[in-house]
């Protein structure tokens, strides 16, 4: 039986049923009489056949598509050591179906939630960058703290720090020959002239910069930033009036932060020497003035340390950023 015949039969049944109901209402018959006059949907015998409306293949396929939920790709996050940013923000980028897109932004791990992308998409070349606060750029700053070709652990690959090394000395060349020699920290080898004591890559045009630090009585004091260990840094605000070598370091003799009163004694047994790798964007650190988490060279300064005697710095890569990513 084709569709047209089925429809005609259904119309006839509706009309017939209406007629029967009308007769029963006029005659005042009860429900039992209605059962006696019901019309079968069959050919009239007691073995009534069910009426089945068949759908062709195209109609069935359309119904199945409408009932299926839209595909969703979920990006979720696991273990990470990304430290909270007081200034600036992290941004996750990925190649999504051949186009580089921003996937999510966050300043702390507590803000990092799973991301759902509509559709069955291909995602690769994942990167976490540091961006300026409030930036809405469609491209990354280039300060990449973690990356990976696919899902899994995104790691720091911007610079190979696995073989770096270094040394430091205490001394105060800017007030020679007045003394207070343990009130200065220099990343230099004694000599005439002094020479570089840090074995680290020259950063050139990289979006990173080195920064030296002294930690004394709980106060972290910058010695300045630099790109090349064989050249001076960009700061001299704590130095005395005398000349200084063209190398990274600082004399802590005036204008000290954190309430420190100069001269200080870095040989007090609780001070530290540190070299960090800092983000560097348009001449500024978008994460602020505190040390970034990559404190890759550091040392506890010995109590009573002898000035102008080389002391070793220890390589520490535990602060290299990473982020675990899963795509389902």
Give per-residue pLDDT as tens, 290-324.
Answer: 999 999 999 999 999 999 999 999 999 999 999 99
List CB contacts of 235: < 8 A, sequence separation 6 or more.
222, 223, 224, 225, 250
Question: What are the residue boundaries of the structural domains of the chain, listed by start?
Answer: 3-67, 72-159, 165-315
Instruction: Identify the three-state secondary structure at position 60.
Output: helix
Nearest-angstrom CA–CA distance, 214 and 168: 11
Which residues lie across from 124 on neighbouring strands?
Answer: 95
pTM score, whole prediction = 0.79
Q: Which residue has the tokens 């540190």?
A: 274
pLDDT at 126 over 90: yes
Show the tokens assigned to 188. 């230099």
pLDDT at 46 over 60: no
Q: How many angstroms separate the Cα of 300 from the Cα of each of 20, 191, 267, 273?
A: 103, 24, 10, 7
The pLDDT assigned to 132 comes to 93
| Mean pLDDT, residues 119-139 taken together | 91
**What is the DSSP code string of 158-223?**
SS--TT-EEEEEE--GGGTTS--GGGEEE-EE-SSS-EE-EE----TT-SEEEEEEEEETTEEEEE
C-beta of residue 124 within 8 angstroms of C-beta of residue 94: yes
Which residues lie across from 123 on neighbouring strands?
Answer: 96
| Mean pLDDT, residues 135-144 taken together | 90
C-beta of residue 240 within 8 angstroms of C-beta of residue 175: yes
Q: How many angstroms separate the Cα of 188 from the Cα of each of 158, 243, 245, 288, 301?
A: 26, 15, 9, 27, 15
C-beta of residue 285 within 8 angstroms of C-beta of residue 249: no
224: left (phi over 0), alpha (psi -120 to 50) or beta: left
Per residue in 239-290, pLDDT (tens digit) is 999 999 999 999 999 999 999 999 999 999 999 999 999 999 989 999 999 9
The angle formed by the CA atoms of residues 87, 90 and 95, to the nearest 5 degrees, is 155
Show the tokens assigned to 148. 């990976």
The pLDDT assigned to 328 comes to 92
As a dihedral over the C-alpha atoms of residue 285, residue 115, residue 146, residue 93, rounded to 10 degrees, the angle is -70
C-beta of residue 184 within 8 angstroms of C-beta of residue 247: no
User: Helices marked H in the chain — which ranges?
Assistant: 3-27, 31-36, 57-67
Q: What value does the mean pLDDT of the chain take?
A: 85
The pLDDT assigned to 69 comes to 57
């Amino acid at each position: 039986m084709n569709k047209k015949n089925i429809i005609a039969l259904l119309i006839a049944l509706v009309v017939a049923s209406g007629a029967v109901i009308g007769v029963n209402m006029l005659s005042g018959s009860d429900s039992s009489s209605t059962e006696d006059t019901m019309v079968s949907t069959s050919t009239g015998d007691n073995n009534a056949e069910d009426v089945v409306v068949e759908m062709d293949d195209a109609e069935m396929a359309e119904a199945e598509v409408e009932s299926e939920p839209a595909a969703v790709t979920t990006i979720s996050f696991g273990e990470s050591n990304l430290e909270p940013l007081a200034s600036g923000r992290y941004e996750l980028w990925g190649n999504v179906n051949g186009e580089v897109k921003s996937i999510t932004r966050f300043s702390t791990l507590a803000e990092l939630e799973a991301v759902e992308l509509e559709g069955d998409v291909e995602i690769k070349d994942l990167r976490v960058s540091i961006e300026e606060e409030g930036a809405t750029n469609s491209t990354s700053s280039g300060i990449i703290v973690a990356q990976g070709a696919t899902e899994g652990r995104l790691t720091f690959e911007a610079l190979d720090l696995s073989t770096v090394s270094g040394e430091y000395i205490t001394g105060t060349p800017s007030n020679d020959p007045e003394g207070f020699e343990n009130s200065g920290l220099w990343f230099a080898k004694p000599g005439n002239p002094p020479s570089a004591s840090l074995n680290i890559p020259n950063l050139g045009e990289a979006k990173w910069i080195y920064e030296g630090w002294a930690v004394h009585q709980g106060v972290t004091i910058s010695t300045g930033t630099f790109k090349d260990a064989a050249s001076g840094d960009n700061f001299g605000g704590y130095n005395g009036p005398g000349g200084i070598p063209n190398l990274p370091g600082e004399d802590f003799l005036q204008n000290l932060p954190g309430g420190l009163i100069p001269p200080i004694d870095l040989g007090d047994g609780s001070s530290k020497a540190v070299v960090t790798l800092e983000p560097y964007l348009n001449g500024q650190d978008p994460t602020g003035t505190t040390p970034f988490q990559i404190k890759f060279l550091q040392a506890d300064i010995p109590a009573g340390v002898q000035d102008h005697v080389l002391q070793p710095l220890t390589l520490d890569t535990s602060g290299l950023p990473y982020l675990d990513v899963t795509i389902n």
